[in-house]
Amino acid sequence: MVSSPSYDPNAFVNGISGIGYRALLEDKNRPLVNRATLGIYPPASTVKPFIAVGALQEGVITTKTTRNDPGYWRIPNSKTRPFRDWLRWGHGKVDILKAIEESVDTFYYQIAYDMGIDRLSKWMMMFGFGDYTGIDIFEESKANMPTREWKMARHRTPWYQGDTIPVGIGQGYWTATPMQIAKATSVLVNRGEVLSPHLLRATINNGDSFDHQTLSEVDSRPPITGVQERYWDIALEGMRLVNHGVKGTARRAFTNMPFQSGGKSGTAQVFSLAEDEEYNAEELAEHLKDHALFTGFAPFENPKVVVTVVLENAGGGSSNGAPVARQLFDLALAEKEESEEE
């Protein structure tokens, strides 16, 4: 669990000076905030495999559903501005596997429209969004899984159909912490078993031997039950294609990998563009640039590691987040192999 930029904790051992503490508090990079559990970001396209499971189980789509993507999607019988795909000219004929592999936004706009915010939020809450992960430290945010009730309480306005569409690609009113995304990924990998992140293994009294250690309790949550196995398979296979498919969005970061893995990139917009406005990172202040996200697991068969990366204002998730995750996979699995050999 890493949060950067950080600070030197040694400064607090004997009492930090007022000037030193004030400098940390006023630092615009907020080094005192543990971004892993308190950082709040739109989860962006990292959530598409989770939404796929809910949509399949609800019958909103089937394994054979295909749609044409011209590069934009519009609410049926509406004259509102179109919701654009990240690929301006579109992806052509798309099924659910291709929608995950190539991160096709328009496919998920339609899912969100057909599913509705009530079912969408219900399913994502089962994956742990909008709630504490249960990690055994007392600094964590619930972030926000939007609902009709939340919007009325917060903004004093009803939920509109247009509010649901961006939620389908992890944007809009939806926010999450990196730890929530990691937990949701583990729920998917474990096919509905909900495991809370956990740091403390055990405690022992001062002077006692390790034979007298007391194992700490792990927060338990109800599993997601009733989902057909093939729906878990489809979401996981889609994530494998993200990393190793011919058109996988993260394929460049995972070339020459000695084992198969699964992943999903995400690029979270910090602000909304006007209908005719083009996104140009070079012309933006750093704090307005997109966040780069990636979540994944490895090896694909018998997964041992889940990695979630959020890089603030770093740009594209596939081009910037995925290479970091690749390095972490290589390091973590190499260390596991060494420990197993010993």
- Helix residue ranges, H only, the chain: 18-26, 35-38, 48-58, 96-101, 105-126, 148-155, 161-167, 178-189, 229-244, 322-341
Q: Residue holding tokens 């190539």?
A: 102
Which residue out of 4, 17, 45, 209 is catalytically annotated? 45
What strand order describes the sheet that includes 262-268?
Answer: 262-268, 291-298, 305-311
3-class secondary-structure state, position 202: strand
Indicate if 3 belongs to the active site: no
Q: What is the Cα–Cα distance from 31 to 269, expressed in whole angstroms?
A: 22
User: Which residues are CB-neighbours of 38 under 8 A, at least 6 positions away?
Assistant: 139, 140, 141, 177
Tell me the DSSP string of 256-294: T-SS--EEEEEEE-SSPPPTTPPP-GGGS-GGGSPEEEE
Q: Which residues form the catalytic set?
A: 45
